[in-house]
Amino acid sequence: MAIMLAFAIAGLPVALPWALGDESIDTNPEPDALQLEVERTAAAYDEALQEVDAAAVAIEEQRARIEEIEALMPQQQARSDAAARDLYKFEQQRPDLLDFLLTSESFYDFLDNLEYMNRLTEANVAEINRLARMKAELDESMVGLEQAKADADARASDAEAALSAAQEARLEAQRRAEEAARQEAEAAAAAAAAAAAARAASAPAQATAPQAQPAVNAEQPAAPPVQSEGVAPAEATIVDNTTDWTGDEASFIASWAARIDSYLAGSPMAGQGTTFAQAAWSYGVDPRWSPAIAFTESSLGAACFLPHNAWGWGSSSWGSWEEAINDHVRGLARGYGYTISVEAAQKYCPPNWQAWYDRTLAQMNSI
């Protein structure tokens, strides 16, 4: 309570917790087939991007080695040419072994001279062999570069296919949510029409009823329209769905991180826009949903009843906002759907679902 009071004094709105510590909240729901596909495509796309990056690194490594060898090649070529000339001259001038032995002052002198000639020959041969190895490595690096380029093209193609699959899965989740919202709106409109018809039907009977009533009845306000249980007003079911899944992950995160950071500014959750946006992409949900619930439940983390639990998310607690946000968004995606709905509100906060729904939806539409 002291935290909430301080937050209010600071001039920021304070939300009363609605689902505070509600143990009925399923914090680890099982995903359905579509949600599994959303998560699978996110993982596949991330893996493909990592492979693209790895292929790019391999290309740069091959290019760097080729440039290094090509820079050393002229000098080694000169050394090899000189060694070849020396070997040729040496072979032409090499004395016969017997003559060499006979002209030596001693047998030990013969062995020393023989060892010297062998070392000289080996040194020249080594220079020639070094050039041959460099040429072989250069050829191998050139082949490796072409292979790395081919791998990069293949990985890029894989990434493109993974992105397409990820986009389609998220668009399908979005379409289903929009259809559910449309059905909820139709149900609300039908309920409102039925209530209006019932009031209209009762009007003639009230007009012909005896007028001898206590005067106080004339001053009593008319009873508010009765809302059908489990149905929100038609206008309340409208979600300003501006989420665009047609871009790639990086552009999605960059766009939504900025918007969410602006929304979180000045709160204990400030600076977590990227975390929310990344989680929204990974699990394929409306990126505004989790931040809006955090406002409804804890004034954006100002009144957490457990560490980093800004959402009334059962008895969960975390060591960081990053862990908490990722877990909450995953739980929303798996157990409550793509975005806010009457059904999700009734499941998340049964006692006060209508107020919870209205408040959370208003926050979502403000992000």
Residue 229 located in a structural domain: no
Q: What is the pLDDT of residue 231?
A: 46
In a domain, 218, yes or no: no
Q: Which residues of the chain register pLDDT less than 50?
A: 1-15, 21, 212-236
- Residue 259: what pLDDT? 96
In three-state form (DSSP H/G/I as H, E/B as E, the rest C), the secondary structure along the chain is: CHHHHHHHHCCCCCCCCCCCCCCCCCCCCCCCHHHHHHHHHHHHHHHHHHHHHHHHHHHHHHHHHHHHHHHHHHHHHHHHHHHHHHHHHHHHHCCCHHHHHHHCCCHHHHHHHHHHHHHHHHHHHHHHHHHHHHHHHHHHHHHHHHHHHHHHHHHHHHHHHHHHHHHHHHHHHHHHHHHHHHHHHHHHHHHHHHHHHHHHHHHHHHHHCCCCCCHHHHHCCCCCCCCCCCCCCHHHHCCCCCCCCCCCHHHHHHHHHHHHHHHHCCCCCCCCHHHHHHHHHHHCCCCCHHHHHHHHHHCCCCCCCCCCCCCCCCCCCCCCHHHHHHHHHHHHHHHCCCCCCHHHHHHHCCCCHHHHHHHHHHHHHHC
Q: What pLDDT does residue 181 have?
A: 73
Q: 47-105 pLDDT, tens per residue?
A: 888 888 888 888 888 899 999 989 988 898 898 888 888 878 877 766 666 666 666 67
Give a yes or no: residue 243 inside a domain. no
Predicted pLDDT of residue 17: 52
Answer yes or no: is 299 within a domain.
no
Name the domain count of the chain: 1
Kindly report, residue by residue over 277-325, the tens digit of the pLDDT.
Answer: 999 999 999 999 999 999 999 999 999 999 999 999 999 999 999 999 9
Is 310 part of any domain?
no
User: What pLDDT score was predicted for residue 149?
Assistant: 85
Asked whether residue 138 is domain-assigned, the answer is yes
Domain that holds residue 138: 49-163
